[in-house]
Homo-oligomer: A and B are copies of this chain.
Amino acid sequence: MSEAGTSAGRPRSEEAHQAILDATLELLAEVGFSALTVEGVAQRAGVGKATIYRRWAAKLPLVIEAFNQLPGLEEADTGNVVDDLKQMLQSYLQLFNSTPLATVLPSLAGERAHNTDLTALFDPVTKQRRQPLIRALERGVERGELPKDLDLDLAADLIVGPIAVRLFFTGRKVNPRIVGPIVDLALRGLANPRP
């Protein structure tokens, strides 16, 4: 295991490294996690299989690193909960429509159900991705836009859920147009402590 700096000899190609990660993401989107093969990645990346095994011991750590290359949710802080949420969910959907995320995520989520190794990877990642949303809701509570006893996780699920369901069950692209109504509907329920 020679890290850079110690060594004489030919250094590892950063170009190959990136090509492998890119190919992994592409194939992950095309065929899914379980049908992803190291051989396929090598061919797509134009490298030998040994070049992959020299860097990653197995498929899972490779997929982990590739998945973490996908951009995260950009936090919005406009001073208004509704605008924050709408803006963040718009970015969210643009992300899904412009990256392999829309196909990669369902595949990983589906695999998560029976692959405990993948579960260990995946759960922290999904929790991480919710954080900007949670923080926006917290700011709303602080500003008095939302009740103090709001269940933040439930609120986040109420907002993310409808979009996730459409992504998972009804094809690929989700129209960003639906973000407005979803946030309005959800917030109308969340903001009023009792009817």
Chain A interface (Cβ < 8 Å from any Cβ of B): 29-35, 102-103, 106-115, 119, 122-123, 126, 151, 154, 157-158, 160-166, 168-171, 178, 181-182, 184-192, 195
Contacts and interface: CB of A to CB of B under 8 A. Distances in A.
A120 to B, nearest CB: 11
A157 B161 contact: yes
A44 to B, nearest CB: 15
A181 to B, nearest CB: 6
A178 B154 contact: yes
A112 B119 contact: no
Interface SS of A by simple majority: helix
Given A158-B185, A163-B161, A195-B188, A169 B126 contact: yes
Contact of A164 (B112, B164, B184): B164
22 contacts: A32-B111, A34-B34, A106-B109, A107-B111, A109-B109, A109-B110, A109-B168, A122-B169, A151-B181, A154-B178, A158-B158, A158-B161, A158-B185, A160-B165, A161-B161, A161-B163, A161-B165, A164-B164, A164-B168, A185-B190, A188-B192, A189-B190
A119 B103 CA distance: 13
Contacts of A169: 109, 112, 122-123, 126
A73 to B, nearest CB: 15
A111 B109 contact: no
Contacts of A191: 195
A185 B178 contact: no
A41 to B, nearest CB: 16
A171 to B, nearest CB: 6
